[in-house]
Structure formats: structure tokens, C-alpha cells
Amino acid sequence: MPTSNTPQSSHQHGVSDITSTRKKRSANTPPTGPARFVNASAAQTLAETIYQHLYRDITAMRLLPGTPISEQDIANARGVSRTPVREAILRLARERLVEVVPKSGSYVARIPLSSLPESMVARSALEAVTVKAATERATPSQLLSLKVLLAQQREAIAAKNIEVFFHSDESFHAMIAEVAGYPGIWQIIQQLKIQVDRYRWLTVSLETIMEQALQDHTAIFHAMESKDTAAAVEQMDIHMDRLKLRMASDWDQYPNYFIQDAESLNLLPE
């Protein structure tokens, strides 16, 4: 009895084509051409988004130490479950930015005094490395960019714009690292100074502190402009030491915002 093999032949032909195509593919080879990476913003999870939001508010002191953090309120405000909120809060707790108190709740962490001296020592050492290299390598256009940042800081002081001044201050140090050819060092410094920055946000609103910081930055810039590496490092050290001394003498003006653990008693100079 004759049978029609048209459907079967068609199917077999299709399978054969696919198999043939697969066989023609070359084995895996190393990547060539421009690098291809996953878009970080596209891959960002709900927990990451909530983490970043809380992180910015805590480090910029928009949420002060001791402020309660309600998982349910955050979840309701964002229209999500409590799971990503809890994940974000636990991550912040590991970074000492949130205190989780059993049977009580979660609160914005107090600034641990014991962490401040060590982070300042590390930052000072890294800033000395970047300013030395930047002084040696800076081009006229790069020096001009630094000068623009100084002008921006001057304008921010006149306008009493604390946020612009703070971010321009950050940009000044970041650019020194970039000019030095060590942008990664600035990323390390940013991690080191999280708790220090919280203290800085408390005090940067004082006009005298902003003016002093601008004077320090100007002295650093002039040393760089003169290609005087020793003077640039010295001025950076003075700038860093000024912050260390201020923290040692002023922290007790904000007793509710700090936690003085046993380790800190031997670390902070009198």
C-alpha cells in the first residue's frame, strides 16, 4: 500500500538542515572585538534599588542615626513584598549602616568611632600616592579642569549651597586620582570613607569648614601647578590631618549620632 512520505520527508529534511547547521558551527573561541558586558542598570534587582536608595540617604545624613527603618513602610511605598526590603537592610547592616535590634526593629546605625581613625590613615596614604603622581603627570587642560572645580566650590560657599560644595569637593579628589592614572584608587577610597563622610555631612554646613577646605584645595592645586610633588603631598597631608583632628575634637557635639565602643577609646587622639 503506497504511503505518502511528504510530511515525513519535510520533517526529516528540516531536522537534517538544523543538524547540518549545528555541525557547521565552530568550536568556542576566545572573544574578539570590543568587550561586551551586561548592562548593570538592566540587571539591577529590586533589592539593589532599595539598597542604593537607603545607602544614599544614610551616607548623606538625610536619614540621621537612630531613625527607625520600617520594612513594611518601604515595601508599601514601593509596591513590593518585604523580601527585597529585608535583603537590602541586611546588606546595609553588614556594612554597619543599619543596626538591627532583636524584638525592636531596624534603625539607621550610629557612626562607629573605632572605624574613623583607621579609614583616615588608609585614605591619607592613598591620597598621597595619587596627588604625587597627578602632580607629575597633569596636563595644562587637566589643571584647568581642577581650577574650574575650585571656582565651583567658591560659588557654592557664596550661595551657601552645601550639596554642591560637597560633591565638588568629591570631584576634586576624584579628578586628582584620574589625572594620576589611578581612578581605581578613588573607588577604594570611597569604600574606606563611608563613615567619615557621614561625619562630614554633619559639619560641612559650617561656612568656616567649607572655606578652610577650599583653602586647602587651592594650596594643593598651586603645588600641582608648580610641579612641586613634595609640596603637593605635604598640602594633601595637612588637608587630611585637619579632618582627623576635627573628628577627634568635635564628635562629642553629636553624642546621639556616634557609638563609642571600647576600641575607639585608644584610637582617637585627645
Rounded distance, CA 189 to CA 168, Å?
Answer: 16
Amino acid 24: pLDDT = 52
pLDDT along the chain (270 residues), means of 10: 48 47 55 60 73 94 94 93 93 94 92 88 97 98 98 96 94 98 96 90 80 97 98 97 81 82 44
Identify the DSSP state of 254: S
| Spans of all domains in the chain | 45-109, 115-258
Task: Summarize pLDDT for 35-69 with one digit per residue, the tens.
Answer: 655 444 434 589 999 999 999 999 999 999 999 99
Amino acid 235: pLDDT = 98
Assign domain 115-258 to a CATH class: mainly alpha
Tell me if 92 sits within 8 A of 98, measured CB to CB: yes
105-108 β-sheet, strand order: 68-69, 105-108, 98-101
Task: Summarize pLDDT for 168-190 with one digit per residue, the tens.
Answer: 999 999 999 999 999 999 999 99
Per CATH, domain 45-109 is 1.10.10.10: yes
Amino acid 115: pLDDT = 86
Give the Cβ contact number of residue 170 at 10 Å.
17
Rounded to 10 degrees, the C-alpha dihedral 48/50/56/58 comes to -120
Mean pLDDT of the chain: 84
